[in-house]
Structure 1
């Protein structure tokens, strides 16, 4: 009996994320995944399950990493307004190839909408994490006199999240980093006291 091929599971998962991120779920074949991951078909199934299970794991992993980056950029500066600026500007890397991928999470929403209950549930679990942090930073900014105190913090947080989605879709559509940064700064200026 042949011994199963050993491979680095995390590296294989990262490669799968790259394929799903660039192509989406439907356009990604099992062969695309197998080749990118450097594993055989049986190893893929034995380790990750079917394509859908691999996609769900890839999306969860991507979301955890991106959410961690969002929250770090938002909370690192002492100034809440600077944190919001860093959050928005940090969405769009200078590397055009990476920038043009947009966001895998936004891509999932565009591909599936609300038709997949498991994906909707994943979004409903992760979205409040950033929303809560945004509401908190907006409140801090209002208390410090940086952010317009007539703004409703929850509505402003929702607008920032919608702006994030728009920036990612524009990036996927080929907008360059100067355009995206200009739009991000425009949004931040709308919050200013």
Structure 2
């Protein structure tokens, strides 16, 4: 009797966890990254930096989850792929350029890293908006709703802002792997 109850509890719990993972795996992975992102934001020493970095990390996570769920992109491979590609091909700024950009925008309360992430996300969102508008007007005008011209760039912006650190880490890992395979050193 007790063995049957334990077996029942284990089976139902396992079934629940597997079903949750199968249905919500993108959001679970995003939640894990959000916890890591907030933890990294809290490691800054200045109180202003901690507050602004944590607020941007939480806001970008909430925006990413909201856009993915509302627009039903949470399982769209192409959304994740284009954000990953966008981080790899966008412009990289030097520290001098970031300092000048921060002072020009009068955003001295932000950390330079966040200014970089916001500008990079905005640049890639512009590229994606132009590409999706071109594809829409040239090919998909009769098949897709025009609201897709707002959904894709908005989702791209918040996802780029949120996933930029992990994408940069993966790009760096791939670059180091490629250099190791080719026998070159940095």
Q: Confirm or deny a common fold (TM above 0.5).
A: no
Going by fraction, where is helix more abundant, 1 or 2?
Answer: 2
Larger radius of gyration: 2
TM-score (ref. length: structure 2): 0.28
